[in-house]
Amino acid sequence: MWYKRTTRFFPILIYAAVFSNARFFLADTSGIASYLLAAVIVVTPILMAKEAGELMASALGRRIRLQAFTRLALVAGAAVMAFVFIEAALQLLSRLQDPAKRSGALNTLAMPAAWERRPVEIEGAKYAYYWHNILHVHNRDNMRLTGEFPRKRPGTFRVIALGDSLTYGYGIAQEDTYPSVLERELSRLFRIEVLNLGRARAQSEDVYKILQRHLPILHPDLVFYGVCLNDFLPSNVGEYASNRAYEVPLPYKEHFIRTTLTGKLLEKQYDALLMRWGLRVDFLTDILRDFGGYQTRFARDVKAMNAHVRSEGLPPVVAMVLDQFPTTKGKRYEIIQAAEKHLRDAGMRVVPGKYIRRNDGRTDWSVSPWEGHPNEKANRVFAHEIAEVLKDLPELRPYRRSQTTAGRLEATRHTSDPRAMPSQRLRADAAGSERTGRVAHAKERNGR
């Protein structure tokens, strides 16, 4: 009898060993493997409890079979295995999708595998990687170049573009960022260069520090500041989509969100649901409330920024609020108006946000459902708006090209890289924006 009771310990020990090993190896897995181990972690404690209960009953002289625990283990295992099949479907979907297509219903369910972040070694870069199948490089200042900026060319008007990740250009090629497009557009008429000093997660106080460090090194003739709505936030506080209220405290939740497509999708949908119900607030709400003195800090920083530039004998900073979700309604537009007011009060030249009114309600300016930064189309519109203001600045007139040189450059662009013909695309984007705006306003009037 004692021998039989002793052997009943073996299943418990086996289940405990399997449970312990599954927990140990979970952190090193991803995708389907994570859910398979999760099934083991869920089922084995139930089976251990069953065996322990039957062993205790046997020790008391009673012989019972706890079949309810067996059924519970089957149900729990089946529930977790359902996630295995969902994950497998999403993984298959991510590999079958065309990475060239940035939008579509399928892309909202799973990000194409080719878009995933892939580290790469690039000579002269502090670190580099592919994201959305686009090369991103960072120098030691986390700006988009390898090594250092070149020396200023004699007889060339130099502009430095300050900003955060919108200026850096996440999700798009370097030549499609608005500083690059702006340089190509203005180079038709002027001897000009535009340096991209965009740095991810740089808020207004960080931008001011970047300006202080690079102004005496780069010797610009003009400073441009591409303002992002999250520039109101404190340093090193990135844009947050919600305040994470009503979190569900599940074990290993962060692991599954980070390493599985199912976890990412569920987290995204749950957050969107709570936002629609008003149970979570985003950084826009906190800015309007002046939570933590957000607006006060921004106003102080831009005033100090422009004063520093003026003290160096340069013209006022030219600034523009960049937004890839143009709308004249709600919190975003209120913050845009507040930002423009603070910029004007600081003495900066503000590029008016006319493009927002022309493109009111557009939703096709972000890179993809998994990358919310401005896409190529948005960057071309930004560059066009900035160019319209810069080309009329008196400081730029001495650098105007002769008509012969300008014509030769234009002809060269027409026979070379199609990316180097921004003027036509800018005018086409602007014309399309005008048509979109007129159609939207006509529908609004008909709706009334």
pLDDT (tens digit, 0 to 9) for every residue of the chain, 448 residues total?
Answer: 455 556 667 888 999 999 999 999 999 999 999 999 999 999 999 999 998 998 888 878 788 888 999 999 999 999 999 999 998 988 887 777 666 665 555 556 677 778 889 999 999 999 999 999 999 999 999 999 998 999 999 999 999 999 999 999 999 999 999 999 999 999 999 999 999 999 998 999 999 999 999 999 999 999 999 999 989 988 866 555 445 556 778 889 889 988 888 888 888 777 777 766 666 656 677 777 765 588 899 999 999 999 999 999 999 999 999 999 999 998 889 999 999 999 999 999 999 999 999 999 998 999 988 888 999 999 999 999 999 999 999 999 999 998 766 566 565 555 545 444 443 444 444 444 444 444 444 434 344 3
Asked if residue 291 and residue 433 are part of one domain, the reply reads: yes
Residue 155 confidence (pLDDT): 95
Residue 245 lies in a domain: no
Which residue is associated with the tokens 């780069």?
218
Instruction: Please report the pLDDT score of residue 75 as a whole number.
Output: 95
Q: Which long-range contacts (CB under 8 A, 24 or more apart) does 247-254 make?
A: 252/26, 252/38
Cα separation, 182 vs 167, whole angstroms: 12
CATH number, position 430: 3.40.50.1110
* Tally of CB atoms within 10 A around 424: 11
Q: Check residue 248 and give its pLDDT.
A: 78
**Hey, CA dihedral for 76, 81, 84, 90, is it positive or negative?**
negative
Contact (Cβ atoms closer than 8 angstroms) between residue 298 and residue 343: no
270 within a domain of the structure (yes/no): no
Q: Is 252 contained in some domain?
A: no
**3-state DSSP call for residue 134?**
strand
Q: And the tokens for 184?
A: 């190509």
Single out the residue in 44, 64, 97 at which a domain terminates. 97
77 lies in the same domain as 145: no
Tell me the pairing of strands 118-120 and 371-374.
Answer: unpaired
* Cβ contact 360:116 at 8 Å: no
Is the same domain home to 383 and 299? yes
Distance of alpha carbon 203 from alpha carbon 239, whole angstroms? 10
Three-class HEC string of 211-261: HHHHHHHHCCCEEEEEECHHHHCCCCCCCCCCCCCCCCCCCCHHHHHHHCH
Secondary structure (3-state) at 127: strand
C-alpha to C-alpha distances, 444 to 67, 360, 438, 439, nearest whole angstrom: 64, 12, 10, 9
Could you tell me if 52 and 130 lie in one domain? no
Looking at the chain, how many residues does it have? 448
Residues 92 and 149 in one domain: no
Q: Are residues 311 and 162 in the same domain?
A: yes
Q: Domain check: are 393 and 298 in the same one?
A: yes
The confidence score (pLDDT) of residue 184 equals 97
Per the DSSP assignment, residues forming a β-bridge with 196 are 161
CB 190 within 8 A of CB 394: no
Paired strand residues for 336:
none
Residue where a domain terminates, one of 34, 64, 97: 97
Answer yes or no: do 75 and 180 share one domain: no
Which stretches within 27-126 are classed as H helix? Answer: 32-59, 67-96, 105-109
- Domain that residue 426 falls in: 122-240+282-447
Domain count, the chain: 2
